[in-house]
Amino acid sequence: EVQLVESGGGLVQPGRSMKLSCAASGFTFSSFYMAWVRQAPTKGLEWVASISTGGGVTYYRDSVKGRFTISRDNEKNTLYLQMDSLRSEDTATYYCARRYNYFDHWGQGVMVTVSS
């Protein structure tokens, strides 16, 4: 069974950093693109970033370019999202997802609240 378990969320002040992790199991992690998708309270889903199987190619939405870094450790079957210079508009539930052209498996999500 495919499982994706996020961790690392919480309350953080504007301008500070936070790193999210996603532990994957139940499939060959190194064979799949992965992604982070977020959802602000009462809002729709928003793609954040994607990463290739080996980690050498990454994609970001414009609003997080230069602030967020997606990475992966295929030895540890873990996906990461390093978030720097956080803003209030980054407040959301962050989901880790397995990616084909679509997102076929999702984690349960982790809440990130950016507030002073």
Residues that bind other proteins (CB under 8 A): 35, 37, 43-47, 50, 59, 61, 95, 100-109
Round to whole Å and give the CA distance between 96 and 13.
23
Least separation in angstroms between residue 110's CB and other proteins is: 11
Least separation in angstroms between residue 74's CB and other proteins is: 22
Nearer to other proteins (CB atom), residue 50 or residue 78:
50
> The tokens 């990130």 sit on which residue?
112
Least separation in angstroms between residue 13's CB and other proteins is: 27
Nearer to other proteins (CB atom), residue 68 or residue 103:
103
Least separation in angstroms between residue 104's CB and other proteins is: 5
- DSSP letters, 48-111, are EEEE-SSSS-EEE-GGGTTTEEEEEETTTTEEEEEE-S--GGG-EEEEEEEESSSEEEE---EE
Round to whole Å and give the CA distance between 70 and 94.
13
Nearer to other proteins (CB atom), residue 13 or residue 59:
59
Q: Which two tokens stand for residue 57?
A: 């190619």
Nearer to other proteins (CB atom), residue 62 or residue 75:
62
